[in-house]
Structures are given as C-alpha cells and as structure tokens.
Amino acid sequence: MIEFIKLKCPSCGADLNVDNGLDTFFCQYCGAKILLHGQNSDALQAKAKVKIVETEANKELEMQKEKHRAEKEEREFKEKVSKKAEKEVIIMAVVMLIVCSLVLSCFSFVEKREVKELNSLYSEILIDIQNKDYDIALLKANRLRTSVSTQPEAVKQEWDETRENLIKQIESLKSQTD
C-alpha cells in the first residue's frame, strides 16, 4: 500500500500529499522542485515551516520597504507643493510691487500734470491782468485750485494762498479802474 505524507511546500506554503517513497517531486501549485533525501515527515514539516516563516518575513520586509518608499514619495510631494506655493507667493509679491509702483507713478503723473495746468492758468491770469481783463482774470483765479486728492498738503496750501493773493490783487486793480 502506498503511504502518503502531508507537508507544506517550502516555496508557496501549499498543502501537499507526497508518496512516502519518493525522493524528489514538484509542487503541484507553484512548480517548485522539492528534494526529500530520506527525511521523515517531521523533519520535512519543520523544514517547510521554516521556509514559510522565511517567506512571511520576506513579505513583511517588502511591505516595510514599500511603506518607506510611499512615505518618502509623500514627503517629496509635500516639499514640491510647498516650494511651488513659495514661488507663487514670491510671484504675487512681485506683481503687487509692480502694480503699486504703477499706481504711484500714475498718481505722480496726475499730480505733476495738474501742477503744470495750474501754472499755465496762473500765466494766463497774469496776462489777463496785464491786458486789464480783470473779470476774466477773476474767473480764472477762482478756478486756481488743486483737485487731485493725492496732492501733498503743502502744494494744496501753496495754491490756495496763490489764489487768495491773486483775487485780492485783481479786486484791488479792478476797484482802482472803476
């Protein structure tokens, strides 16, 4: 009668039924070659258990390696996202500085243009006074005001004083001719 021994495949851990008289055979699940060399079933089972423990340890080691690789990838991804965010913040700051510079330049341009226009109007008023066109000079003198809200206070005050002095001068000259 053929006696079968039960053991586990050292490669895949599958339960095997092997003819006790065989010295060499192949696992019917994974195809691994198994050499018995006259070992009894207890020795074969112990050897198979060691192989199973080794296989499980290798699987655990591979899982740990995969876990560390995934953690490293996650750290690298977070660093990349963080660097990208830093670059975006720097770009936004540069854009804001450029916009602020442009706005200030516009205000400065408008302020200078207004002062130029006021100086031109002042010159016209002086010509009108020379030509004794006091009514026209008085109308123009009343328009001699700063309208730009960003104009420095000293400039506003200077033009207010200039306007008041011109109006007094024109009214005085006008009253002398009437």
The pLDDT tens digits for 87-101 are: 999 999 888 888 878
Residue 133 lies in a domain: yes
Among 27, 43, 64, give the residue marking a domain's end.
Answer: 64
Q: What is the pLDDT of residue 7?
A: 76
Between 163 and 5, residue with greater pLDDT: 163
Coil vs helix vs strand at 162: helix
- Reported as a pLDDT band with limits 50, 70 and 90, residue 140 is very high
Residue 168 lies in a domain: yes
- Reported as a pLDDT band with limits 50, 70 and 90, residue 2 is low
Domain count, the chain: 2
Residue 86 lies in a domain: no
Q: 57 is in which domain, residue-wise?
A: 4-64
**Looking up tokens 């740990």, which residue turns up?**
64
Residue 159 lies in a domain: yes
Q: What is the pLDDT of residue 34?
A: 80
Query: What's the average model confidence in pLDDT over 75-82?
Result: 92
pTM here is: 0.47
Residue 170 lies in a domain: yes
Residue 98 lies in a domain: no
Residue 125 lies in a domain: yes
Rounded to whole angstroms, the Cα distance separating 25 from 91 reads 70
